[in-house]
Amino acid sequence: MTETKIYVGLNDAETMKQEHETARYVSILRNVCRSYHVPFSFSTAEGGYFHEDGRYTQENTLVLSLIDAECDTVNEIAKDLCAFFRQESVLITENTVRAYMVNEKLG
């Protein structure tokens, strides 16, 4: 199985600042995933990177995790999040994982 992660920074591409509370971005992320009918999980993180012109940016980031999602669907979700969050780009990583469910019933 493939685990895909989409990293979406929360700083606006033009103002270089986070324009809204993180909870608002989380709500948008949830709605996008629901609209594509994909199971997902996400976490919040802090990250930093260098722009091509050498400027350093530090920002809050949402990390969306998808298991065995179709490549086309991942790309569409990434494009939507990039547009909705006003980003220059978003980062996608893919890794092969062993994933399985465990069930246990109590008494």
pLDDT in tens, 88-106: 899 999 999 998 889 998 8
Inform me whether the pLDDT recorded for 52 exceeds 90: no
Residue 44 lies in a domain: yes
Residue 89 lies in a domain: yes
Band (pLDDT 50/70/90 cuts) for residue 34 is very high
Give every strand in the sheet of 41-50, ordered side by side: 41-50, 56-67, 2-9, 91-96
**4 backbone dihedrals φ, ψ, rounded to 5°:** -115, 135
CATH of the domain at 23: 3.30.70.120
Token digits of residue 86: 């006003």
Mean pLDDT within 61-86? 97
Inform me whether the pLDDT recorded for 45 exceeds 90: yes
Residue-number span of the structural domain to which 52 is assigned: 2-96
The answer, as to whether pTM is greater than 0.75, is yes
Residue 80 lies in a domain: yes
Q: To the nearest whole percent, how much of the chain has pLDDT over 90?
A: 81
Token digits of residue 29: 């992320």
Strand, coil or helix: what is 76? helix
